[in-house]
Copies of this chain bind each other. A is one copy, B any other.
Amino acid sequence: MSADTIVQIAPAEPAGADLTDAMIEIGRRARAASQILATAPESRKNVALTAMAAALRNREAAILTANQVDVEAASAQGAAAAHVDRLRLTPDRVEAMARGIEEISELADPVGRVLARWDRPNGLRIERVATPLGVVGVIYESRPNVTADAGALCLKAGNAVVLRGGSDSLGTARAIHDGLVAGLSHAGLPETAIQIVPTTDRQAVGEMLAGLGGTLDVIVPRGGKSLVARVQEEARVPVFAHLEGICHVYVHGPADLDMASRIVVNAKMRRTGICGAAETLLVDRTLRDSHLAPLIDSLIAAGCAIRGDEAAQEADARVEPATEGDWCTEYLDAILSVRVVDGLDAAIDHIARYGTQHTEAIVTDDARAAEAFLERVDSAIVVHNASTQFADGGEFGMGAEIGIATGRMHARGPVGVEQLTSFKYRVRGSGQTRP
């Protein structure tokens, strides 16, 4: 399907059973493309990625024009400033997308890695080898860069992808998609390897959640909590996602106050809107007199509002009372809940009760306490003496990520190209039969 075909489909948007059929057809094309991608050589995938980056740069004017239309429509409909900002592209942002694709092309090929290898006493040689997952569905909201990032990451891992962007950014997404398709075409790879759903009908999301007739292997939602919740609730295929990141920092005695202060302020305030931002500070009771007030003071000095338990309120008059609801709130804002806890067990219990198994940190000089925290806290990422904001595929050295998963199946933590692969067993014999 060429980009031109997509544009032709759009004017007469299918609905109901027709839309179901059209979506399943998209899935079938993706499955067929995935079978070609599965054995595509690394060099060809990288040629496509490099050509995609060039195509985005070449099409900068067209992309910005399409984006201007989307931005004006959103503004006319009264979209909030933050929403319009997420939607808006600039020459710098287009260049960042192109550079992001080039960085993905520079990653090692995740397909074909030998994950394990052993011989059996009967002479069979067994290898566990990474293979693509197959077909990935990505459902996202306003950010147009997801089109480029997700398309490139899936291609690198040998997967076909079906992209369903926000209705407010469909024009922008299509202009970017044109560039991705140009790259695929340049490399002789199937253009259906990266498809974009050509309708804003919300039924299309339902069709993806139903699995597109068994052709989708996994769905990745990228967006706000209501989108992720809907996907997690309704999807009939596996989902890589996190619903919320209610991340904790636990300052345990003994802990260097300066280091604790720097880590806590960074974990909360570096960027408040990302999933790895801290939402609750737990301070050990042994540090109540020495650390609590200075920690609160540095947070407030950095512009953070504090909602705390009685001890926190006593430590600083500017602290507002925390309610039960605060312990389970992902503020994504310059607000932090603060609680004094009675030791490691109480901190771990608090995290088990209110946490979302995303990222938690302990700040302590006590190596034994740190190891116990790292072992016992059941989160995708557990951190000793560093900021929770390192919860990021790039910071982990994994390259770009398609998201962060908090489930326990297949992918957990940052979902990069390696996490977008599966595996199979290759068995080499010399005539062995089973006794």
Find out whether the CB atom of A410 lies under 8 angstroms from the CB atom of B412. Answer: no
Are A266 and B387 neighbours in the complex by a CB distance under 8 Å? no
In the complex, how many angstroms separate the beta carbon of A387 from the nearest chain B beta carbon?
Answer: 5
Partner of A386, one of B262, B397, B409, B429: B429
B266 near A434 (CB under 8 angstroms)?
Answer: yes
Is A148 among interface residues, defined by CB-CB distance under 8 A? no
Closest chain-B Cβ to A408's Cβ sits at a distance in Å of 4
Interface status of A38 (Cβ within 8 A of chain B): yes
The answer to whether A381 and B427 touch across the interface, beta carbons within 8 angstroms, is yes
Nearest-CB residue, chain B, relative to A410: B410
CB within 8 A of A424: which of B381, B396, B431, B432? B381
- Report the Cα distance A427→B413, complex, angstroms: 12
Q: Indicate which residue in B218, B397, B424, B432 contacts A120 across the interface (CB closer than 8 Å).
A: B397
**A343 near B: Cβ within 8 Å?**
no
The residue that A408 contacts in the complex, of B134, B256, B259, B389, with Cβ under 8 A, is B134
Q: In chain B, what residue has the closest Cβ to A408?
A: B422
Measured CA separation A412–B217 after assembly (Å): 13
Residue from A124, A256, A434 with most neighbouring chain B CB atoms (10 Å): A434
| Chain B residue contacts of A118, Cβ below 8 A | 397
Structural contact, A408 and B133, CB atoms closer than 8 A: yes
Interface membership of A376, Cβ < 8 A: yes
Which positions 383-435 of chain A face chain B at CB distance < 8 Å?
383-387, 389-390, 395-397, 408-410, 412-413, 422-434
How many angstroms between the C-alpha atoms of A256 and B431 in the bound complex? Answer: 9
**Closest partner residue, chain B, to A218 (CB atom):** B409
- Is A324 an interface residue, CB under 8 A from the partner? no
List residues of chain B with CB within 8 A of the CB of A266: 433-434
Contact with B along A366-393 (1 / 0, CB 8 A): 0000100011101111111111011000
Assess whether A270 is interfacial by the CB under 8 Å rule: yes
Asked if A131 meets B378 with Cβ closer than 8 Å, knowing A218-B409, A409-B238, A422-B412, the reply is yes
Residues of B with C-beta under 8 A to A267: 433
Residue of B nearest to A379 (CB): B424
A428 and B384 form a contact (CB under 8 A): yes
- Of A376, A382, A390, the most chain B CB neighbours within 10 A belong to A390
Q: Quick one: closest B residue to A271, CB to CB? A: B434
Q: A386-B429, A396-B425 are in contact. List 5 more A-B contacts (CB 8 A).
A: A124-B386, A217-B408, A380-B425, A384-B426, A412-B424
